[in-house]
Amino acid sequence: MDKLIGRDISKEYPGGITALKSVNIEIHKGDIVVVMGPSGSGKTTLINILGLLDTPTAGNVYLDDREITGLSEKEKCVIMNRTFGFIFQFFYLIPELTAIENVMLPLWIKERSYRKVRDYYRRAEELLVEFNLSKRKDAYPSQLSGGEMQKVAICRSLICSPEIIFADEPTGSIDKESSEMFFNFVQLLNKKKGIGFFIGTHNEKFLQFATKVVYLNQGEIE
């Protein structure tokens, strides 16, 4: 991925609610883009549209000059699985799966090879080791702390080697120590692997290492 562009993005919801108004944004490979603004300003909506989780009412999203908002759901899912990674405020781990199963699931969806299940498991375990979670690999989400669930969500976002990770209030539900871990994680992966980040947040500490800052207010960029 060389660039991701949102052009004239607008989003309206039933009842006359306008979440975004003709937003234009350009993200280049390796950018750390931080989106700030008050609650209800459109941060989550913008993340969801650029990440293909939602469809704009008007406007288009381009990935390397290819228009992707009009793709089929299957084609969008391929991009989301192979190019994008996601970290959500409330983690969205599958409660019936263990930590390691949650991490390896996207890789299984990507490749679907029963012969490679052990390879998927090994890759997931390597990621959990990096985040000091190897001893918790067989725990279910209900048995994990908020910080541990965040780490599992991070590992899950990395399993398919994404080129850009979308993070929606990634430090909103975790403690200070886990937040510091996440700050270090973003900077390390950006420098080491060139992974880009698009982060919607209220946490001003992200501004210390952002390459681009976007401020949203009432659905418009200021």
Task: Identify the CA nearest to 83 among candidates 189, 165, 28.
Answer: 165
Average pLDDT of 63-86?
94
pLDDT value at 132 more than 90? no
Tokens 């430090």 sit on residue: 171
pLDDT value at 141 more than 80? yes
Cα 221 from chain centre: 21
pLDDT value at 115 more than 90? no
Q: To 10 degrees, the CA torsion angle through 199, 87, 135, 192? A: -50
Return the sign of the alpha-carbon dihedral for residues 189, 194, 196, 201: positive
More confident residue, 210 or 16: 210
Longest Cα separation, the chain: 51
Decide if 2 contacts 64 (C-beta within 8 A): yes
pLDDT (tens digit, 9 = 90+) per residue, 22-49?
999 999 999 999 999 999 999 999 999 9
Which pLDDT value is given to residue 179? Answer: 84
Across 98-205, the runs of DSSP E, i.e. the strands, are: 164-168, 196-200
Residue 1's pLDDT band (boundaries 50, 70, 90)?
confident
Decide if 52 contacts 83 (C-beta within 8 A): no
pLDDT (tens digit, 9 = 90+) per residue, 191-216?
999 999 999 999 999 999 999 999 99
Which pLDDT value is given to residue 77? Answer: 93
pTM: 0.91
Decide if 111 contacts 68 (C-beta within 8 A): no
CA distance 21 to 46: 10
